[in-house]
């Protein structure tokens, strides 16, 4: 079964798109909260899995449990240097995201999934963009924030997003060549963007022989 990655300029509606696609295809959402909590728990305390039960679906928990029990999570010997830590993180993402992609039925939101899975034949990659002013407006309306709060959050999240791409993967996160489809929600209504992404993904699945 195929999987989807979504990268987005913060405030362009990436989470909403992911939720809509999960609803349409019966997939499971694996967002930054799940991935970050897994990374934090990757030192393998015995009860790490229970710590993320509130953030992950039962399907995802079952998959992660199998990955852990198979011995894929092994403590890496300590070594100095920032690049070593980056490599550990990339290896971690490769194992956990690779397991999700191999099983299929997931929408992966953020955390470099488009880089990690760019060569996976069953992964459909989406980029969502929008003008800054429209992203601020979306955040204000969707999350009931003040304009200043929305601007602050967008700035923080975009800084983090760029840092992950450049420091961890050494790449431009908005490079259109990484994606099957790039959607600008400033130019097309959000519902049309959801429809376009879903329809093209359906064709993608059909080409894989899934539909």
Hey, where are the domains in the chain? 3-207
Q: What is the mean pLDDT of residues 47-75?
A: 44
Classify domain 3-207 by CATH architecture: 3-Layer(aba) Sandwich (3.40)
More confident position, 97 or 54: 97
Residue 62 has which token pair? 């079952």
Cα separation values, 140 from 5, 89, 90, 104, 188, Å: 25, 33, 34, 34, 19
> For 72, which DSSP code?
-
What distance in Å separates the CA atoms of residue 179 and residue 34, rounded to the nearest whole number? 23
pLDDT digits (tens, 9 = 90+) for 147-169: 999 999 998 888 878 777 777 78
Q: Who has greater pLDDT, 172 or 1? A: 1
The angle at the Cα of 125, spanning 122 to 126, to the nearest 5 degrees, equals 150
Query: Tokens for 93?
Result: 């993402």
Q: What is the pTM of this model?
A: 0.78
Which among 112, 116, 104 has a CA at the least distance from the CA of 201?
104
Name which residue leads in pLDDT, 209 or 72. 209
DSSP-assigned states of every residue in 97-130: HHHHHHH--EEEESTTHHHHTTT-TTEEEEEEE-
pLDDT computed for residue 84 by the predictor: 64
Instruction: For residue 36, name the pLDDT band (cuts at 50, 70, 90).
Output: low
Q: How confident is the model at residue 105 (pLDDT cuts 50, 70, 90)?
A: very high
The pLDDT, as a whole number, for residue 99 is 87
Q: Give the mean pLDDT of 105-110.
A: 92
- Convert the pLDDT of each residue in 165-207 to its tens digit: 777 788 888 889 999 999 999 999 999 999 999 999 999 999 9
Q: Hey, CA dihedral for 103, 119, 199, 197, is it positive or negative?
A: positive
Residue 174 to residue 172: CA distance in whole angstroms: 6
Measured CA to CA, the distance from residue 193 to residue 187 in angstroms comes to 10
- The CA radius of gyration of the chain, in Å to the nearest whole number, is 17
Q: How many other CB atoms are there within 10 angstroms of residue 70's CB atom? A: 10
């Amino acid at each position: 079964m195929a999987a989807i990655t979504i990268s987005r300029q913060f405030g362009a509606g990436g989470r909403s798109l992911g939720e809509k696609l999960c609803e349409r295809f019966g997939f499971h959402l694996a967002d930054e909260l799940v991935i970050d909590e897994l990374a934090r728990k990757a030192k393998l305390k015995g009860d790490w899995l229970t710590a993320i039960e509130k953030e992950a679906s039962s399907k995802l928990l079952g998959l992660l449990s199998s990955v852990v029990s198979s011995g894929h999570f092994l403590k890496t010997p300590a070594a100095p240097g920032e690049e070593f830590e980056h490599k550990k993180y990339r290896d971690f993402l490769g194992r956990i995201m690779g397991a999700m992609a191999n099983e299929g039925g997931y929408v992966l939101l953020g955390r470099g999934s488009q880089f990690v899975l760019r060569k996976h034949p069953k992964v459909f990659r989406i980029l969502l963009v929008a003008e800054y002013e429209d992203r601020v407006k979306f955040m204000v309306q969707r999350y009931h924030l003040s304009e200043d709060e929305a601007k602050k959050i967008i700035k923080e999240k975009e800084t983090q997003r760029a840092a992950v791409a450049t420091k961890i993967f050494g790449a431009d996160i908005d490079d259109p060549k990484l994606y099957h489809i790039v959607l600008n929600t400033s130019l097309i209504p959000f519902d049309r963007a959801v429809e376009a992404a879903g329809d093209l993904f359906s064709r993608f699945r059909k080409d894989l022989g899934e539909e």
